[in-house]
């Protein structure tokens, strides 16, 4: 698939795939999911004492680059932002690496890994959408999974978030976008989180059940307009991101 480059976030060059959804949106505008982009920007600006961002299902690094570019604008000698980005799809990861490596310097710590995050460490299979590079589902068993002609498969590796040396005291914000299994990932890290840490996750059945069962604090909802196949923004269709906060 064709790769394009454009300037976003204060002139940073950003590479992305010219696909049917994210690519078409970026071709017409500089922002992907403007409501979520705005929320993450505000979260960063109002809580710069906690400097770590975790991006699970990072795709080609749009939100990780956003965090890095915001950190780049802080000119304080002791400020050091940390980003942990996880992306299991090899093609996406190669672009993610190019987008983030320029920020990995003496001032910031950028860590990126070509794996999925799950509740156990094992080999898995990634079901990928040919037209939407951001729609990839991780499975440990695909024996009973129907594959359409618009999907391909590739191997991936699944690791536990606890396998990584993350300073949980410093975590500000976590974004999870894994096309399923988000509730299990949240459960695997919940007891590690410090009060005030937030998780952004798209609404789905499993996440709704997790919220209902645990009575977790949900201070905000973010309404993102659906992107249509031609890259235009729907006027009346939304998907909801929950902001979960550890109390």
Q: In CATH, what number is assigned to the domain containing residue 131?
A: 3.40.50.150
Taking only the tens place, the pLDDT of each residue in 62-101 is: 999 999 888 877 767 677 789 999 999 999 999 999 999 8
Taking only the tens place, the pLDDT of each residue in 96-116 is: 999 998 776 556 788 999 999
Taking only the tens place, the pLDDT of each residue in 183-225 is: 999 999 999 999 999 999 998 889 999 999 999 999 988 887 6
Taking only the tens place, the pLDDT of each residue in 109-149 is: 889 999 999 999 999 999 999 889 999 999 988 888 888 88
Report the C-alpha gap between 38 and 127 in whole angstroms. 30
Confidence of residue 240 (pLDDT cuts 50, 70, 90): confident
Counting the structural domains of the chain, the total is 1
Q: What pTM, to 2 d.p., does this model score?
A: 0.93
Q: Which of 163, 219, 168 is nearest to 190 (CA)?
A: 168
Q: Which domain holds residue 141?
A: 3-245
Do the Cβ atoms of 110 and 100 come closer than 8 Å? Answer: yes
**Residue whose structure tokens are 């789905």:** 204
Q: Vertex 221, ends 216 and 224: CA angle to 5°?
A: 140
Helix (H) / strand (E) element for 42: namely: helix 34-46
Report the C-alpha gap between 101 and 111 in whole angstroms. 9
């Amino acid at each position: 698939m064709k790769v394009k480059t454009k300037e976003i976030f204060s002139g940073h060059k950003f590479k992305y795939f010219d696909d049917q959804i994210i690519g078409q949106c970026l071709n017409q505008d500089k922002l992907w999911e403007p409501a979520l982009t705005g929320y993450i920007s505000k979260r960063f600006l109002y809580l710069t004492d906690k400097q770590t961002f975790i991006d699970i299902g990072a795709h080609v690094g749009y939100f990780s680059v956003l965090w890095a570019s915001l950190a780049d604008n802080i000119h304080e000698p002791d400020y050091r932002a940390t980003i942990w980005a996880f992306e299991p799809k090899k093609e996406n990861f190669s672009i993610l690496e190019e987008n983030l490596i320029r920020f990995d310097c003496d001032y910031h710590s950028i860590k990126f890994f070509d794996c999925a995050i799950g509740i156990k460490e094992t080999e898995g299979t990634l079901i990928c959408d040919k037209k939407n590079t951001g729609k990839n589902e991780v499975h440990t068993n695909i024996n009973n999974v129907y594959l359409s002609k618009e999907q391909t498969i590739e191997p991936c590796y699944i690791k536990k978030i606890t396998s990584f040396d993350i300073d949980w005291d410093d975590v500000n914000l976590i974004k999870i976008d894994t096309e399923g299994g988000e509730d299990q990932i949240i459960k695997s890290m919940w007891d590690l989180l410090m009060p005030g840490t937030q998780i952004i996750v798209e609404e789905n059945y499993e996440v709704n059940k997790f919220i209902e069962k645990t009575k977790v604090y949900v201070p905000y909802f973010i309404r993102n307009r659906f992107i249509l196949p031609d890259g235009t923004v729907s006027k009346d269709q939304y998907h909801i991101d929950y902001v979960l906060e550890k109390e």
